Amino acid sequence: MHTKIDLLVIGAGSAGRYAARAAASLGKSVVLVDKGPFGGLCILKGCMPSKALLRPAHVFHLMKHRLGELGLSIEGTPRIDIPAIVRMKNAMIREMAEDARKSVEQTRGISLLSGRFSFTGPQSGVLDDTPLHFDKAVIATGSRIHLPSIPGLDPEWILTSDDVLELEDIPSSTLVLGGGPVGLELGQYLSCLGSDVTLADTNPNWHPQTDPLLAREYLGALESRGLAMRLGIRAERFDREEGGKPCFHFQVDGKKHAIPFDKVLLATGRRPDTAGLNLPAAQVHTTRHGHIQVDAFLRTSNHSIFAAGDVTGILPVLNLATFHGEMAGRNAILPIPVTVREPVVPIAIFTDPEYARAGLTESQAQARRIPVRTGRIPFSDVGKAIVYRETDGALKIVIHAKSREILGVEMFGHGASDLVHTLATAMHFHATIDQYQEILHIHPTFSEIFKYLADDMTDAI
């Protein structure tokens, strides 16, 4: 079989597929291996299925609770067919995975093989039992679910994100541990479908780097739509109430609390999937959390082997996985690798309302000793938000105090995941707030929020 492998890519998720394509486009022979099922986290159990479920859940919530705001009513009670939603989601996912597979198979220079890969040396390994030798390799094996160990936690009570995506019977009450994107999105999904959801997180300020006021307002908007929050908790134990429900015991500021629940969604983060790779044989080092250590070229401690995506632990989001995948694929092939520049990485949480940010928050800028000015505007100042009855939201911009370059944006509100690109684009081109202020915006749009704030910050009328 393949006698000469210029580049072996381990893992055909998003990072791996981009790495393989980049190297193939440079004329190299690439072998892309995956243990299956083919598709990667984003398509199979991540971005795509979660959003496919959130969309009907949000519409259902709007029909049940917000039609009156729009002067609408329907006869009877709106109903939701959860098995139908899950079926539709599965059909979409199957098609997306199939399209991704075809696209790889049709790319000249890439051979797709299935099997679990394990290193046997610095430039060799086995795919199941078949030996492979490679010149260069990219590790893109992603992440796996990690369950925290808390005393008394019965496996029967546990839901993982994978489980929630397949649930047809919604628990009457759910405890969500972890206030990251997965906990918030899937917590709100269950809440929209009628579960009584409480989300608990150890951090008292939700996320240490976010703006405290904006975070409070965002979480408040989620609470007003039915998601209860307990922040700053210290987990103690689980037990079962006498003859009754499971119960979670925790402390906040030294005071003891208990929440009874039917199911607990563990959304406390994932771990790098390096099990079985036999990294020591390849002399590839990991961090103390088990992520693969990479340098500014995305090179591991073995300079013939690169890594990209969730397995590096840099930031577990799709856009960075594909960006780094492409860079790792190229760098593995180029005679002299190029330094991977730090891109503007917009990120979002697809709750209703949405949260999004790009660039630096004020506290991140302060930590880097960058002198900044900030500006803030609520969605309720924007005509389109008023007429659409979507005034829950706010925007904060961070600019350099002297150069006036836009350094960061943080926001929540209707359509934030799309809106954020306006300023991400400006930041990519190092625009100042004064240059941004000159851009005409369509009226009425949600995007005008940036223009209004730029007007304020440049003292324009």
Ligand X SMILES: Cc1cc2nc3c(=O)[nH]c(=O)nc-3n(C[C@H](O)[C@H](O)[C@H](O)COP(=O)(O)OP(=O)(O)OC[C@H]3O[C@@H](n4cnc5c(N)ncnc54)[C@H](O)[C@@H]3O)c2cc1C
| Cα–Cα separations (whole angstroms), residue 204 to 23, 196, 212, 215, 367 | 45, 22, 10, 11, 20
Indicate whether 310 belongs to the interface with ligand X (CB under 6 A). Answer: yes
15 binds ligand X (CB under 6 A): yes
Q: Which of residues 249-278 bind ligand X (CB under 6 A)?
A: 273, 276-277
Give the interface segment with ligand X, choosing from 29-37, 171-179, 224-232, 386-394 (CB under 6 A). 29-37
What is the DSSP secondary structure assignment for residue 129, as one 8-state letter?
Answer: T
Taking the complex as a whole, the smallest distance from the CB of residue 96 to ligand X amounts, in Å, to 12
Residue 72: CB minimum distance to ligand X, A = 30
Helix (H) or strand (E) holding 197: strand 196-201
In the complex with ligand X, which residue's Cβ is closer, 278 or 445?
A: 278
Which stretch in 36-44, 220-228, 231-239, 399-407 sits in contact with ligand X by CB under 6 A?
A: 36-44
Give the residue with the Cβ less far from ligand X, 317 or 372: 317
Residue in 33, 199, 215, 395 binding ligand X, rule: CB under 6 A: 33
How many angstroms separate the Cα of 250 from the Cα of each of 150, 177, 261?
Answer: 11, 11, 14
Shortest separation between residue 395's beta carbon and ligand X, angstroms: 21
Q: Going by C-beta distance under 8 Å and a sequence separation of 6 or more, which residues neighbour residue 24?
A: 30, 107, 108, 109, 110
Distance CA 72, CA 427 (A): 41
Q: Is 216 in the site for ligand X (CB under 6 A)?
A: no
For residue 217, what are its two tokens? 């307002």
Q: How far is the CB of 352 from ligand X (least distance, A)?
A: 14
Amino acid present at 312: T
Residue 302 touching ligand X (CB under 6 A): no
Indicate whether 317 belongs to the interface with ligand X (CB under 6 A): yes
Could you say whether residue 125 binds ligand X (CB under 6 A)?
A: no
Beta strands in 242-304 (DSSP E): 246-252, 255-260, 263-266, 270-272
Which residues inside 46-75 make contact with ligand X, applying CB under 6 A?
46-47, 50
The reply to whether 117 sits near ligand X by the rule CB under 6 A is yes
362 forms part of the interface with ligand X (CB under 6 A): no
Q: Which two tokens stand for residue 324?
A: 């780094």
Task: Give one DSSP letter per residue of 318-368, joined into a string.
Answer: HHHHHHHHHHHHHHHHSSSPPPPP-----EEE-SSSEEEEEE--HHHHHHT
Is 40 a binding residue for ligand X by CB under 6 A? The answer is yes
Considering only 35, 207, 271, 404, the residue that binds ligand X (CB under 6 A) is 35
Orientation angle between helical segments 14-25 and 318-333, nearest 10 degrees:
30
CB of 43 to ligand X, least distance (A): 8
Among 64, 66, 101, 116, binds ligand X (CB under 6 A): 116
Phi-psi category of residue 298: left, alpha or beta, with phi > 0 → left and psi -120 to 50 → alpha? left
Strand 233-240's sheet: what is its strand order? Answer: 233-240, 246-252, 255-260
Q: Candidates 56, 125, 178, 309: give the one binding ligand X (CB under 6 A).
A: 309
Residue tagged 């082997």 (tokens): 305
CB of 131 or CB of 276, closer to ligand X: 276
CA 146 – CA 308 distance, rounded (Å): 20
Minimum Å gap between C-beta 22 and ligand X is 14
Q: Which of 182, 307, 314, 382 binds ligand X (CB under 6 A)?
A: 182
Query: Please, what is the minimum distance in Å from the beta carbon of residue 384 to ligand X?
Result: 25
Should residue 286 be labelled a site residue for ligand X when binding is judged by CB under 6 A?
A: no
Contact 345, 358 (CB under 8 A): yes
141 is a contact residue toward ligand X (CB under 6 A) = yes
Q: How many helices (H) and strands (E) does the chain have?
A: 14, 22
For residues 112 and 365, which CB has a smaller minimum distance to ligand X in the complex? 112
Q: Which of residues 171 and 272 has its CB atom nearest to ligand X in the complex?
A: 272
Helix (H) or strand (E) holding 166: helix 161-166
Binding site for ligand X (CB under 6 A): 10-16, 33-35, 40-42, 45-47, 50, 116-117, 140-143, 161, 182, 273, 276-277, 309-310, 316-319, 321, 350
